[in-house]
Amino acid sequence: MSTKPLVYDQLNRPLRDLRISVTDRCNFRCRYCMPEETFGPDYEFLPKTSLLQFEEITRLARLFVNLGVEKIRLTGGEPLLRRDLDVLVGMLSKIDGLEDIALTTNASLLKKHAVKLKNAGLTRVNVSLDAIHDDTFGKMNGRGTKIKPVLDGIQAASDAGLDVKINMVVQNGINDHEVIPMAKYFRHSGHIVRFIEYMDVGNSNGWKFDHVMSKRDIIDRISEIYPLDSVDPAYYGEVASRYQFRDGGGEIGVISSVSDSFCSSCTRARLSADGALYTCLFASRGTSLRNPMRNGATDQELQKMLTDLWNGRHDRYSDERTEETVANREKIEMSFIGG
C-alpha cells in the first residue's frame, strides 16, 4: 500500500492512475475508435501549439504523483506519432514516487522505438491488436495494414525487456471469430491477451448493445477449447478479470465495462493531448489545465484544482448505461483521451 497522500472522490475511490494522451492523431482508422468517415482527409486535428509540451506534461504528472498517482500510461491517438516520445518517458522516469510508466500503442511503429523507450524508463506496453489474421486485421484497422509490423513490434518490445500485453476489442459479427485464434496464438508466449467488450466511447462508432460480446460469452467460448480457472485481482482497481489456462498455457484477461462494470473501483484520471482533465472515459467534457498553467498558475494552485476536481468526482457511467444514455449523451472521442 502506498504511503503517499491520497485524494478520494465522492464514491471513496482514490486517485492512483493517470492516462496521458500525447497526440490525437493515429495512422489507423479502427471503426470503434476513429472511423474513416468521421476522421477523413479533411478532419482537423489539434494544431501543434494546442498540444501540451513535454515540460508541461511532466509538471502536471509530478503534481498528480503528489496526490497519489503511482502509474502513468501514455496514450493517443497513436502515441508513437509524437516525435521524441522517449524524451518524455525519460523526463517522467525522474519523478520521485512514480512506480510505473506504460504505453498503449498499435505497435506498427514499435520496432523502431522499443529499445529507446525501454532505456528511457518505459516498463510496459499494451498493444492494440483486434485479429491475428491479415484479412480481418486489415478491415479492423481501416487501412488494410498487415499484421507483420505489429508482431515485429511486439517481438522488439519483448526483446528489449518490456512487459507486453495484447488488447483485443471484440465485436459480435465483426471479429468475434478471432477470439479463439488470438487465445491460441499467444498461449505459451508469455504475453497476456486481454479481451475487451466493445464500448460506447465517443459518438462516432455506431455502438449498439447487440454489438457487444459479453465477458461470459468470451470466457465460455475460450473454455470450450482451453479450460480456464479464475484468478484473483493483482491489485485494487485492476480493470481486467483474470483467468489462467488450466494446462499452464498462461493467462488471459477480460475487460467488461458493459456487462460487468468496474466503476466502483475506478482509480483513473485522463489528461487529453490539449491538457484537459477528464475523470471518466465516457465524460462529456473536461477541465483545462493547460490554460491556467500557461496563464501563470502556481503548482499550489494547479494541485488544488486537481484535488477539487477529484474530490468532486462521482462518475459511474457504466453502472448507469441504458439505451437512453447511449443515444442522448455526448461523449468525448476515445482517440482524444486514450482508452
Specify if 287 maps to a domain.
yes
CATH of the domain at 319: 3.20.20.70
Inter-residue contact 197 to 212 (CB < 8 Å): yes
Query: Of 167, 191, 174, 102, which is closest to residue 138 (Cα–Cα)?
Result: 174
**Per-residue pLDDT tens digits for 220-278:** 999 999 999 999 988 887 889 999 999 999 999 999 888 888 899 999 999 999 999 99
> Total domain count for the chain?
1
pLDDT confidence band for 335 (50 / 70 / 90): confident
> Residues of 208-217 as b/e, b for ≥16 C-beta within 10 angstroms?
eeebbbbbeb
Specify if 92 maps to a domain.
yes
Of the two residues 52 and 319, the one the predictor is more confident about is: 52
| Confidence at residue 195, expressed as pLDDT on a 0 to 100 scale | 98
pLDDT confidence band for 1 (50 / 70 / 90): very low
User: What would the mean pLDDT of 292-312 be, rounded to a whole number?
Assistant: 98
Specify if 111 maps to a domain.
yes
| Confidence at residue 210, expressed as pLDDT on a 0 to 100 scale | 85
| Confidence at residue 331, expressed as pLDDT on a 0 to 100 scale | 72
| Confidence at residue 207, expressed as pLDDT on a 0 to 100 scale | 77
Inter-residue contact 316 to 281 (CB < 8 Å): no
Domain that holds residue 67: 17-163+265-337
- pTM here is 0.94
Specify if 171 maps to a domain.
no
Specify if 155 maps to a domain.
yes
**Per-residue pLDDT tens digits for 187-207:** 999 999 999 999 877 666 677
Specify if 258 maps to a domain.
no
Specify if 146 maps to a domain.
yes
| Confidence at residue 327, expressed as pLDDT on a 0 to 100 scale | 61
**Per-residue pLDDT tens digits for 42-72:** 999 999 999 999 999 999 999 999 999 999 9
Specify if 205 maps to a domain.
no
User: What would the mean pLDDT of 3-17 be, rounded to a whole number?
Assistant: 88
CA distances from 222 to 128, 193, 230 (A): 20, 12, 13
